[in-house]
Amino acid sequence: MKDLSRRDFFKLAGVTAAGVALSGVGLTDLLAQAPVVGAADVTGKATAGSRAKVYFTKHIDAAHLIQLYDKINEGIYGKIAVKLHTGEKHGPNILPRDMVKEFMAHIPDSTIVETNTLYAGDRYTTEGHRETLKVNGWTFCPVDIMDEFGDVNLPVRGGKHLKEVAMGGHIVNYDSMVVLTHFKGHAMGGFGGSMKNIAIGCASGQIGKRQVHGVAGTPPEDWGAWPAKEHLMELMADSAKATVDYFGKHIVFINVMRRMSVDCDCAGTSAAEPTIPDIGIVASTDILAVDQASVDLVYGLPSSQNHDLVERIESRRGLHQLQAMRDLKMGNDQYELISID
């Protein structure tokens, strides 16, 4: 197979986006993409019906991150994987290492977990990946590149497109998972939340990520032939479901909404400067609720502040991530947003 450079990978995303822009998306289509607002801040208020709990703080620091985690960690035990995006070399928007260092120290027997990339960038090989970890300062705790020695197939129960996904083989060495996500835009997915973090981030670099991108085997030479928009979102949901089902009640989700570029941390130093203000941190035991709440918080800002990120989400049909999770019954999009501030 021809190696994909990071430049080529994002060129693909640009071609995909151009296809959306040129297809004559009408007002009805855009309205159909509008998010479902689950709840405003309901701290101290009675609510009816079945709702997930999503905890929120506007403070982005280790102390408040730990407070949120302690609200949702009842099912976390044993050997714990902390899945986060460690980024390309010198990425300007990746999670602050000092904050994560303090967080990791709070969680006994915890290890940061990652996988290698499909595109030929800084983290394409295990050797390059480990060098990038050093450059970016991820040296304060163990980091397990889960596909270093191969894959393991996890089943996708009730998946729309996939029956199984090749994950980094070491995933089965862990009893629990904490999904610690830098919420931001994404060149292909529209936005990157908890679902995208595990859907692509747990899949093995050279097999699983091809499956999730719908290009198993030899990827098409024509970038425009790669699956995108709704199809990609459904593939990601299938993959994420495999990990969620594997850990069951022993997985939790935290989205850190800071430095929300329209680009993923995969873009490294070429990522666009964020134009939306930092919002805070949200946490839940429900993957759909945590991503729904994050999207709602973005859409709740004035258009003068959220325009660029909303445009990125809608032009890539990113809100279909939420619908795909609903279709797979992965969680509840109705939630209580509970402030701890």
* HEC secondary structure over the chain: CCCEEHHHHHHHHHHHHHHHHHCCCCHHHHHHCCCCCCCCECCCCCCCCCCEEEEEECCCCHHHHHHHHHHHHHHCCCCEEEECCCCCCCCCCCCCHHHHHHHHHHCCCEEEEECCCCEECCCCCHHHHHHHHHHCCCCCCCEEECCCCCEEEEECCCCCCCCEEEEEHHHHHCCEEEEEEECEEECCCEEECHHHHHHHHCECCCCHHHHHCCCCCCCCCCHHHCCCHHHHHHHHHHHHHHHHHHHCCCEEEEEEECCCCCCCHHHHHHCCCCCCCCCEEEEECCHHHHHHHHHHHHHCCCHHHHHHHHHHHHHCCCCHHHHHHHHCCCCCCCEEEEECC
What is the average per-residue pLDDT within 177-184?
98
Q: What percent of the chain has pLDDT over 90?
A: 75
User: Which residues constitute the domain of residue 206?
Assistant: 4-339
pLDDT band with cut points at 50, 70 and 90 for residue 32: very low
Q: What is the pLDDT of residue 225?
A: 72
Average pLDDT over the chain, rounded to an integer: 87
User: Per the structure, how many domains does the chain have?
Assistant: 1
pLDDT band with cut points at 50, 70 and 90 for residue 49: low
What is the average per-residue pLDDT within 108-129?
91
pLDDT in tens, 142-159: 999 999 999 999 999 999
Q: What is the pLDDT of residue 228?
A: 77
pTM score: 0.87
pLDDT in tens, 233-262: 999 999 999 999 999 999 999 999 999 999
